[in-house]
Amino acid sequence: MGIPQSDIYTAILEGDETTVTEQVEKALQMGIPAGVLLNETLIPAMAEVGDLFEKGEYFVPEMLIAARAMKAGLSILKPLLAEAKAETNGKIAIGTVKGDLHDIGKNLVTIMLEGAGFEVLDLGVDVPAERFVEVIEKEHVDMVAMSALLTTTMVNIEMTMKMIGEKGLRDKVKIMVGGAPLTREYARSIGADGFAADASQAAKEALVLLGGK
């Protein structure tokens, strides 16, 4: 790891957006390819953030600050990665289901998925089943990630899955669900492919589910 790369890695762990931005630009000027910075620095740094969160050494505030720092670097790299047509780990559409306006968890999952090398389409909150179906049909996503933070909106996850099945699209996408009232047993019972209790787990689960892509 070159000096700018080790500085970027440390700055992400510390949530230092300014240093991440400066060192990413410096690394690019030194001729380090955007894909190398993403795969050898940003992604491993966010993986360590996830591990620290799981060990109880980082909490949601530290995770959010680190994620914002990573996103600062990613925003510089994205245009270059697009130009180079860099391979991603897959394309994921994410949204909080209809009737639910919670977005903090979803936003953190989005950042962690981007930090794990996925292209993410954030559909926002209060997303109707029809919108998820439309995205599967038009954007050819590899996975749909749905969250519900209220027990009263959990039924809309099932309704969305039913509509995806009725449109003949179920075998075209993996489906991952999450949110405070959900469990892995619930996810299995409704036929979802994966479940994540938090943002760190969501990134790991997505890598497993789309690993054979």
Q: At a CB cut-off of 8 Å and minimum separation 6, what does 194 contact?
A: 174, 175, 176, 177, 187, 205, 206, 208, 209
Q: In the prediction, which pLDDT does 111 show?
A: 87
Q: In the prediction, which pLDDT does 70 show?
A: 93
Q: Domain locations in the chain? A: 3-83, 91-209
Q: Mean pLDDT check: name the lowest of 44-53, 120-129, 135-144.
A: 44-53
Q: Does 91-209 carry CATH code 3.40.50.2300?
A: no
- What CATH topology corresponds to 3-83? 1.10.1240
**Equal CATH topology for 3-83 and 91-209:** no
For 26-58, the pLDDT digits (tens) are 999 999 999 899 989 999 999 999 999 989 999
Tokens 């996830």 map to which residue? 50
* 147-174 burial: b if 16+ Cβ within 10 Å, else e: bbbbeebbebbbebbebbeeeeebeebb
Q: In the prediction, which pLDDT does 2 show?
A: 53
Count of helices and strands (H, E) across the chain: 10, 5
pTM: 0.80
Q: How confident is the model at residue 78 (pLDDT cuts 50, 70, 90)?
A: confident
Per DSSP (E only), the strands in the chain are 91-96, 119-122, 143-147, 174-178, 194-196
Res 88 pLDDT > 90: no
